[in-house]
Structure 1
Amino acid sequence: MYSLYTAALSFPGFSPALFEIDLGFLGLGTFPIRWYALAYIAGLVIGWRYALALIRRPALWGGKSPATKDDIDDLLFYATLGVILGGRIGYILFYQIPFQFDTIQRDPISILRIWEGGMSFHGGLLGVAIAILIVAKLRGIRLMPIADIAGVVTPIGLFLGRCTNFINAELYGRPTDAPVGMVFPEGNAGGTPAAYDWQAGEWVYTGAEVPRHPSQLYEACLEGLIPALIISFLVWRFGLLKRPGLSAGLFLLFYGIGRSISEQFREPDRFTWGVMPEWLTMGQLLSMPLWLGGVFLVWNALRKPPMQASA
Structure 2
Amino acid sequence: MNAVLPFPDIAPEIVSITLFGMEFALRWYALAYIAGIVIGWRIVVATVRRPALWPGERAPMEPRDVEDLLTWVILGVILGGRLGYVLFYQPGYYLSHPGEILQVWQGGMAFHGGLLGVILAVILFARARGINWVSVADALCMVTPVGLLLGRIANFINAELWGRPTDLPWGVIFPGRAAHDCAGAVAGLCARHPSQLYEAALEGLILGAILLWLGWRRGALRLPGTLTGVFFAGYGVARFMVEFVRQPDAQFVAPGNPLGLAFHINGYGLTMGQTLSLPMIAFGLGMILWARRRAQAQTA
Aligned partner letter, 1:245: G
User: Could you tell me how far 1:103 is from its partner in structure 2?
Assistant: 6.2
Higher relative contact order (CA 8 A, sep 6+): 1
Q: Distance in 2 between matches of 1:306 and 1:52?
A: 29
RMSD over equivalenced CA pairs, Å: 2.1
Give matches, 1:56-75, under 5 Å: 56-62=49-55, 63-75=57-69
Query: Residue 209 and residue 116 in structure 1: after superposition, are their counterparts in 2 closer, same or farther (change >3 A)?
Result: farther
Name structure 2 gaps, 5 residues minimum. Answer: 182-186, 255-260
Structure 1 residue aligned with 2:78: 84
1:14 matched to 2:19? The reply is no
The answer to whether the 8 A contact 2:221-2:227 is kept is: yes
- Aligned match of 1:164 in 144, 154, 162? 154
**1:243/1:306 contact within 8 Å kept:** no
* Cα deviations by residue, 1:7-43 (Å, 9 ceiling, x for unpaired): 11001021111111222xx122x32211111111111
Tell me how many residue pairs correspond in the alignment. 282
For 1:1-311, what aligned pairs fall within 5 Å after superposition?
5=1, 7-23=3-19, 26-28=20-22, 30-62=23-55, 63-97=57-91, 101-102=92-93, 104-105=95-96, 107-187=97-177, 208-274=188-254, 276=262, 277=264, 279-305=269-295
Q: Give the match's secondary structure for 1:112.
A: coil
* Contact 2:178/2:190 (<8 A) preserved: no
Preserved CA contact (<8 Å) 2:86 2:94: no
**1:179-228: CA deviation from partner (whole Å, max 9, x where unpaired):** 1111001427999xxxxxxxxxxxxxxx7330000000000111111111
TM-score where L is the length of structure 2: 0.89
Structure 1 unaligned residues grouped into runs of 5+:
192-206
The residue identity in structure 1 corresponding to 2:13 is: A
Query: Is contact 1:71–1:135 with CA below 8 Å preserved after alignment?
Result: no
SS, match of residue 19 in structure 1: strand
Task: Describe the shift of the 1:189–1:116 C-alpha distance in structure 2 as closer, same or farther (beyond 3 A).
Answer: farther
**Aligned-partner SS, 2:16:** strand
**In 1, Cα distance between equivalents of 2:217 and 2:297:** 15
User: 2-side partners of 1:143 and 1:102: how far apart?
Assistant: 36
Match of 2:58, as an amino acid? K
The letter of the residue matching 2:281 is W
Q: Secondary structure at the match of 1:80?
A: helix
Q: Which amino acid aligns with 2:75?
A: L
Letter in 1 for 2:40: G
8 Å Cα contact 1:185/1:209 also seen in 2: no
* Equivalent residues of 1:156, 1:225 under 8 A apart: yes
